[in-house]
Copies of this chain bind each other. A is one copy, B any other.
Amino acid sequence: MDSKPNNDRFLRALRREPVDCTPVWLMRQAGRYLPEYRATRQRAGSFLAMAKNPEIACEVTLQPLQRFDIDAAILFSDILTIPDAMGLGLYFVEGEGPKFERPVRSAEDIARLAVPDMESELRYVMDAVRLIRRELQDKVPLIGFSGSPWTIACYMVEGRGGSDFGRIKAMALNDPASLHRLLGVVTDAVIAYLSAQRAAGAQALQVFDTWGGVLSPAMYREFSLRYLRRIASELQRGEGADRTPLILFGKGNGPYLSELADSGAEALGVDWTTTLHGACLRTQGKVALQGNLDPATLYASPDTIRREVRSALDSYAKGNNGSRDGHVFNLGHGMAPDMDPEHVRVLVDEVHAASRERRLG
């Protein structure tokens, strides 16, 4: 499990070490835009059936690697496995995203929550990690992940995503102590979950703070950033070359990048509403940066995609004193089902070609 991947560009970039070209992977790279994914899903029946079956999760995780020259695999799973294991009853309605049968609505609901056992209640995730590592044969590193405490809590309290977050914000304002209790137990679970994924073989870990950006600055610091910091500081992940890097991705985290850079995480994922140049200036070389092409760029023509890739690569270098190290190329958010796989190939190949050429000078 400790063997070094043959392609370690991704891990080297997260450590801000020199690489031959900029590594790239894409959020939601294993997904419905791939016909082979849709075929597997049809066979499995549903998204959740896929995620809960380690063989299928492994199969789907590896699909984009068979097509594209990407530098990392990411576990096929969901950000809501933890509350599902806590008994909230995760389900999906086609076109509406995840929902919970039993959302958390009261102090009593919160008091009943406990950190799930990772090798029983969430064993399917760890089995998937182990199986993927075996099947990957060290071709590229495997990323494990979790939702952020705030983002998970949003779904737990609202019962669904994409709302105006009225319930959880009312709790934050009227009864912050209850919300802190909820975030506390979720954070304990996230730390245990990421530790277990690491023990099972994950070589990098990412936290998705999808909904941090819906908060006011004061509420972001109190209810999201605080718990991201706790994860970065308490998650035991080794030292030196053996250290498992932690990436904190957050939609709308632009205003908080300098604070996040002091969290102890090795890398920050940035969305497209901040330039990489600006993100470099705010983080001052303390962390690696991952991002940040607008996913909608994949709807543009191949020539336009190549131009936008080069522009993002150069924006990073401009902010990083001309150096291209410490950059992992990615989108600023996940891919959509109606995107063209051939455009993904154009993007991935251009990241490698243009960043290699620019390094050679």
* Alpha-carbon gap, A172 to B181, bound state (A): 46
| Known contacts A215-B273, A217-B274; A296 and B255 CB within 8 A of each other | no
* Chain copies in complex: 2
* Alpha-carbon gap, A166 to B215, bound state (A): 25
Interface residue tally of chain A, by bracket?
20 to 34
The answer on a CB contact under 8 Å between A169 and B217 is: no
Q: Is A39 engaged at the interface, CB distance under 8 Å to the other chain?
A: no
Enumerate chain B residues within 8 angstroms of A297, measured Cβ to Cβ.
169, 173
* Alpha-carbon gap, A350 to B326, bound state (A): 50
Q: Is A275 engaged at the interface, CB distance under 8 Å to the other chain?
A: yes
* Alpha-carbon gap, A167 to B300, bound state (A): 9
Residue of B nearest to A166 (CB): B299
Q: Is A304 engaged at the interface, CB distance under 8 Å to the other chain?
A: yes
Write the A261-288 contact mask toward B (1 if CB under 8 angstroms, else 0).
0000000000011110010000000000
Enumerate chain B residues within 8 angstroms of A338, measured Cβ to Cβ.
166
Q: Nearest Cβ in chain B — how far from A310, in angstroms? A: 13
Enumerate chain B residues within 8 angstroms of A83, measured Cβ to Cβ.
none
Enumerate chain B residues within 8 angstroms of A272, measured Cβ to Cβ.
216
The answer on a CB contact under 8 Å between A296 and B252 is: no
Enumerate chain B residues within 8 angstroms of A166, measured Cβ to Cβ.
296, 299, 336, 338
Q: Is A301 engaged at the interface, CB distance under 8 Å to the other chain?
A: yes
The answer on a CB contact under 8 Å between A170 and B216 is: no
Q: Which residues of A are interface residues toward B (Cβ below 8 A)? A: 164-167, 169-170, 173-174, 213-219, 252, 254-255, 272-275, 278, 294-297, 299-301, 304, 308, 336, 338
Given A164-B296, A174-B304, A219-B294, 19 further pairs, Cβ under 8 A: A166-B296, A166-B336, A166-B338, A169-B296, A169-B297, A169-B300, A170-B296, A173-B297, A173-B299, A173-B308, A174-B300, A213-B273, A214-B273, A216-B272, A216-B273, A217-B278, A218-B275, A254-B255, A255-B273
